[in-house]
Amino acid sequence: MNSLTIALFLVVGVSIGLQPSDAVGYTNSCSCGHSYDGNNCAHYLTNWMIKNGWLSTSPGKSTANCRTGRPIRAKDVRKIFRDKYGAPTRYEPAGNSFIYVERKRDGKGHVYYGTKRTCVAGTGNGAFAGRDAVWEFYQ
């Protein structure tokens, strides 16, 4: 187990019920080998979630998946978060959480795991949204 995998387990493992030997580190990639313009936050995050046993392939809440069953739309992953954790909080928790952020002006969504300022697993934090955003935190 490499140091990134250990660090991710310490931060994420308890939240999603992993054992240290089972934790798979996050990478900006998917098992399918494909990249989708503008949709990789959901694509790569769900690849990581599936590899760690937190999510099944082709989940029912997803309307678009890659060929290996990873959801590719942030709004679909938001539905998955709501199904698992219930209603989100608009206030940032003390620790890491699954996050959905949406720009008000155009409705563009983004998902990742971490804090408002730090991305632990995902393609980056929600800084793209600036002040024109609605934040949802799921734990």
Interval 70-109: pLDDT, tens: 999 999 999 999 999 999 999 999 999 999 999 999 999 9
CATH of the domain at 89: 3.90.1720
> What CA–CA distance (Å, rounded) separates 28 from 97?
19
Residue-range definition of the domain harbouring residue 62: 3-138
Count of structural domains, the chain? 1
Interval 15-58: pLDDT, tens: 545 444 456 888 899 999 999 886 799 999 999 999 988 899 99
Beta strand 133-138 pairing with 109-114: unpaired
Interval 118-139: pLDDT, tens: 999 999 988 888 888 999 999 9
Whether the pLDDT of residue 14 is over 80: the answer is: no
> What CA–CA distance (Å, rounded) separates 37 from 40?
7
Sign of CA dihedral 57, 99, 13, 15: negative
The helix or strand, by DSSP H or E, that contains position 111, with its residue range, turns out to be strand 109-114
Sequence letter at residue 56:
S
Query: In the prediction, which pLDDT does 17 show?
Result: 52
Name the pLDDT band for 6 (thresholds 50, 70, 90): very low
18: tokens are: 């992993």
The pTM of this model reads: 0.82
